[in-house]
Amino acid sequence: MILKKNSLNLISFPVGSYQCNCSILYSDTTREAIIIDPGNDHEFILQKIKDLNIKVKKLIHTHAHFDHIGRSTEVANATGATLHLHKGDQFLYDMLPQQGMFFRQIVGSPKPLDAYLEDGEEFSFEDPEIKTFLKTLHTPGHTPGSCSFYTEYFDEPIAFAGDTLFQRSIGRSDLPGGDGNLIIKSIKERLLTLPDETRVIAGHGGMTRIFEEKKHNPFLC
């Protein structure tokens, strides 16, 4: 997926062994960038950063499962970007090595986080054309600290839902910290209340829209 409005660009693509959807937002003018869920393939991400000629300022994560954050340390070390995650997932982040062993995946050693994500936290660039363009929504249930990110900057609103909401499905809640009732509550109160035309970029798989999930998602009917 590729979108552009004024000097703000968005590209989304699958990365890593579990094909996590990674999204990069960057400014044509200042070249500064934010990456949502770098995944667990730092070499691919670093090559993409080089190809785009961007300066990554922040790595923000929907949650702390290894396929979304497993090689973020390497990306942060190579770019100088800061690491951001909701405090509810600190225990999962600390368990990255154990996650890697359990799923037989190579992950990096978790470096200290630079800041905790807060519900309602907004992100902006120095580019005067862009200003504030992204907002954090705490959507727990898949994990205690699961977050979604929302923007109305483009011609259509977009929600980066992580593993909370999928096309015709929802995230699993049977892993440590998961809560089946809470994920439904988060979806209904934080995501389904977004404009119906909102495009949803899920953590894996294809995109969908809020009105489609209201009508067709069997877990939400």
Mean of all residue pLDDT scores within the chain:
96
| Dist. CA 106–CA 218, nearest whole Å | 35
Closest by CA position to 48, among listed 81, 12, 1 = 12
* 2-216 placed in CATH 3.40.50.1700: no
pTM value is 0.97
Give the relative orientation of helices 42-52 and 72-79 as an angle to the nearest 10 degrees: 30
DSSP 176: T
Per-residue pLDDT of the chain (221 residues; tens, 9 = 90+): 999 999 999 999 999 989 999 999 999 999 999 999 999 999 999 999 999 999 999 999 999 999 999 999 999 999 999 999 999 999 999 999 989 887 788 888 899 999 999 999 999 999 998 989 999 999 999 999 999 999 999 999 999 999 999 999 999 999 999 999 999 999 999 999 999 999 999 999 999 999 999 999 999 98
Task: Quote the CA–CA distance of 108 and 73 in Å, as a whole number.
Answer: 6
